[in-house]
Amino acid sequence: MSKPNEAKIIGASLPRIDGPEKLSGAAKYAADNHLPRMSYAYGVFSTIASGRIQDIDVSQARQMSGVLDIFHHGHFPTLYRTPSSMEQENKVDETRLPFEDDKVYYPGQFVALVVAETFEQARAAAYRVKVDYASEKPIADLEQALATGEQPKPHGESGHERGDPASAFNQASNQIDVIYTTPMETHNPMEMHASTAMWDDGSLVLYESTQGVIFARNTMAKIFGLPVERVVVHAPFIGSGFGSKLWIWPHAVAAAAASRQIGRPVQLVVPRQQMFTTTGHRPATQQHIQIGTDAEGRLVALSHETVNATSMVNTVAELAGRCTPTLYSCSNVKVSHATVRANIGTPTAMRAPGAAPGLFALESAIDEAAVAIGMDPLAFRKLNYTEHDEGQDLPFSSIHLMEAYEKGAEKFGWSRRNPEVGSMRDGNELIGWGMAACNWEALKQDSEAHVSLRSNGTVYVSCATQDIGTGTYTVVAQTASAVTGVPVDRIQVKLGDSTYPRGPLAGGSWATATVMPAIAKAAKAAIEELKTYATGDDGPFQEASMDDLQFSDGQLSDGNGKSITFGELLKEMKLANADGRATTSGEMNSDYSYNSFGAHFVEVRWDPGISRLRVSRVVSAIDVGQIVNQKTAANQVEGAIVMGIGMALYEQTEYDPRSGLPVNNNYAEYLVPTHADQPPEVDVLLLDHPDYNFSEFGARGIGEIGITGLAGAVANAVYHATGKRIRSLPITLDKLMA
């Protein structure tokens, strides 16, 4: 049998196998499940940012048509907190239970929940619930939190220090000492957060928009005091999440509790406005970077200190310096992270958490250092290139960053760049060229999988991971096809159900690397079971040993001209299937550091006459090991590029500094890139070098890396065009016209 990674199906450019279901409307998302006797819930959300609830008057709302019950801190069942552990797979970001007390910690907090016969009735009644507050002066954002004088709380385990960075910086020939800031960003996936909950004989069934059915199951079991076997979570399709759907939020707990209380299924969809307040965000950061170089431009000191805003309920650090210890060669490095509290909802992971805002700052500072000594920014990065992770003192398992620099630069035409600011022009437009490195750690976890060779000639594969729109269904089918030789269109993939063999979260760019080995091992186990049947007393190869049999292209053969498809064999023996189950470990060889790398090259155009800034061209060269599917991989990077443009030019969640209330928590005023904002030219170069030190397939994750560094590349291009060094995202027109 050929190695899975040698099969032609790995690396092919295949369309997504789940596409027809999604395009036809057959795919069911969390809010598409309409259960018998289902009721609907709608939240009442705090209109203050800090304070206490003095009174909740539900009398008028209770009299409205269709109302079944109204829950709040004075009327809600007793539940349990979860320990919130990654290891136990029951993590939450907001450990406070819904309606746990009468305190208001952030604007838009759930303060009551109306359940009614219809969605319209629940919403109408929610508007009639009257809440009286004792309001307190809020800490609205990071700026106000830092101004209170409260010392930032260090996040010690995420820091790094080597050498003597302070002394080395003071003695450096050239110094850069700058502060960068990034705003709060909100995930805004297409599918809104939704929960459809029902109870059946003391067991909870939850249709949830989640990136982790196993985590959701374990978390809900803890909260409701149930064994995990009494909780089932379904999430076969998710309309993206970008990290906001990794963990359970209060709305899911409230929906499940309300369903148990009234004895009927309950569906709760979080309105778009409250997705800005109750389901996480990328926190605002302030990053202080110091870079020292010698006279030739070699890094001699690098310090990256970050403070981010977190909530009053939980502490979440944005690890903006996570790439800093490893990306460049430098003997004296310091990285630290700290948090300050504000009256905001709890932050959570957002695509490339830490690395996205962190590489905006680091790659902008690297550009500043290159410009300060009169060196080409690409040449500066090449000079400080390393193939050794100096943070861990380990070689990288595989690194082709230098190739990414060279191929990206060649495709982009970087050699034609005039380094003088504002020197490149096309008609009324000033042209700016900027670049940045990108980086993300390579991760994988433990996983289980089930593969069944069926008598009808098809292959069934199941795993309790999720496809959040990234192409996991297709990758799983490709993996099974690579091992069995069965065409993808004859492979049925089932994901997103907690009753399936345990699978990973769909986040952190680890799902593909995690599930592929488990699928392959389970497929091989199914083939071995098939061989057992084939060589048994009633089998067609009873004269042969199992070692004599070969399996390829869906057929068993003995090497002497006799062969039979697995479907025919199973039918002949009156067997339904041959099953294989497998468990694989996410443990990695400690002899290496595992990372993915790349480089972005960006062109911006600035028309000062009409104050128009646009990104006109992007070339991204990405090194993520083996490319499993050319089409879906390129699509992931393209999407990340657009999201990075949004980060650079548009996105920021804003709060009124007086009231602490959000002021643009809607899709009219929270700006994201539209089709018209996307560059007319986007080239993604996938280097495709398998990393067999990482896994048998050599594939690392690709979901996060495309956004890392992109905002820095845009900012560097803006400087090249305009001469304005914008250190505070987003790069809005007022900053360029100031």
**What string of DSSP letters covers 78-118?**
--------TTTT---S--SPTT-SSEE-STT-EEEEEEESS
Beta strands 459-463 and 491-495 are parallel
Q: Which domains does the chain have, with CATH numbers?
A: 4-27+445-584 (3.30.365.10), 33-137+190-239+245-275 (3.90.1170.50), 375-443+590-737 (3.30.365.10)
Please report the pLDDT score of residue 3 as a whole number. Answer: 43
What is the secondary structure of 415-443 as a DSSP string?
GG---STT-EEETTEEEEEEEEEEEEE--
How far is it, in rounded angstroms, from Cα 642 to Cα 179? 25
Token pair in block for residue 160: 């790094």
Instruction: Place 4 in a pLDDT band, splitting at 50, 70 and 90.
Output: very low
Instruction: Find the distance separating the first CA and the last CA of the chain, reported in whole Å.
Output: 66
Which residues lie below 8 Å from residue 252, measured CB to CB, with a gap of 6+? 195, 197, 206, 208, 210, 216, 220, 268
Which residue has 């970077």 as its token pair? Answer: 289
How far is it, in rounded angstroms, from Cα 633 to Cα 478? 13
- Residue 402, sorted as left (phi over 0), alpha (psi -120 to 50) or beta, turns out to be alpha
Instruction: Place 362 in a pLDDT band, splitting at 50, 70 and 90.
Output: very high
| pLDDT tens per residue, range 401-439 | 999 999 999 999 999 999 999 999 999 999 999 999 999
Q: Nearest 10 degrees: CA dihedral of 29, 30, 35, 37?
A: -140
How far is it, in rounded angstroms, from Cα 316 to Cα 345? 11
Taking CA atoms, 73 is separated from 104, 155, 223, 249, 270, in Å, by 11, 33, 17, 17, 19
pLDDT over threshold 90, residue 555: yes
Three-class DSSP labels, 466-517: CCCCCCHHHHHHHHHHHHHCCCHHHEEEEECECCCCECCCCCCCCHHHHHHH
Q: List the catalytic residue out of 94, 318, 390, 704.
A: 704
Q: Tell me 449's DSSP state.
A: E
Please report the pLDDT score of residue 5 as a whole number. Answer: 39
Q: What is the mean pLDDT of the chain?
A: 97
Please report the pLDDT score of residue 30 as a whole number. Answer: 98
Beta strands 174-182 and 285-293 are antiparallel
State whether residue 2 is helix, strand or coil.
Answer: coil
pLDDT over threshold 50, residue 2: no
Helix %, strand %, coil % of the chain (to 5): 30, 25, 45
How far is it, in rounded angstroms, from Cα 738 to Cα 719? 14
- Indicate if 704 belongs to the active site: yes
pLDDT over threshold 90, residue 559: no
CA geometry: angle at 329 spanning 397 and 334, to 5°?
105
H/E run at residue 31: none
How far is it, in rounded angstroms, from Cα 335 to Cα 390? 13
pLDDT over threshold 60, residue 124: yes
What mean pLDDT comes out for the span 106-132? 98
Token pair in block for residue 211: 């990136």
Token pair in block for residue 552: 């390829």
Q: Across 20-93, where does the E strand assignment appear?
A: 39-45, 51-57, 67-72
pLDDT over 70, % of the chain: 99
Instruction: Place 456 in a pLDDT band, splitting at 50, 70 and 90.
Output: very high
| pLDDT tens per residue, range 628-657 | 999 999 999 999 999 999 999 999 999 999
What mean pLDDT comes out for the span 450-466? 98
Please report the pLDDT score of residue 156 as a whole number. Answer: 84
Handedness of CA 372, 373, 375, 380 (dihedral sign): negative
How far is it, in rounded angstroms, from Cα 4 to Cα 483? 5
| pLDDT tens per residue, range 470-513 | 999 999 999 999 999 999 999 999 999 999 999 999 999 999 99
H/E run at residue 23: helix 19-24
pTM for the structure as a whole: 0.97
With contact defined as beta carbons under 8 Å apart, do 439 and 327 qualify?
Answer: yes
